[in-house]
Amino acid sequence: MPGASHYYIWYRVTGDPAAARAAVAALLRDVLGATGIAGRVLVRRDDATTWMEVYEDVADVEGFDRALAAGVAHHAVAGYAEGRTRHTEAFVVAT
């Protein structure tokens, strides 16, 4: 059985970046409250429209997935992603 998962979710932001940032900040607060996982947002060094949310050490993957999906829907975060597409990658530590 694998250990904790680490989520990396990237997308290109369209529309108002300040509104997108507010929506993502609200998402991070909701996820933290529901799961105890403190996410963070990175911006691509050479392209300020490419953002990445990072959530590390996720032990309860199913609960985290539910909380993340609920927050994305509640704050309409996908509406700020180009094509409404958020690319999610999940990794575990190699053994």
Domain residues of the chain, as ranges? Answer: 5-91
Query: Could you state, in chain order, the average pLDDT of each consecutive group of 10 residues for the chain (95 residues)?
Result: 88 97 98 98 97 98 98 98 97 91
pLDDT at position 64 is 98
Q: What is the pTM of this model?
A: 0.93
Element (H, E) at 30: helix 17-35
Q: Which residue, 55, 76, 78, is CA-closest to 8?
A: 55
The answer to whether domain 5-91 has CATH 3.40.109.10 is no
Question: At which residue do the structure tokens 């694998």 appear?
Answer: 2
pLDDT at position 95 is 81
Rounded to a whole number, what is the largest CA-CA distance in the chain? Answer: 42
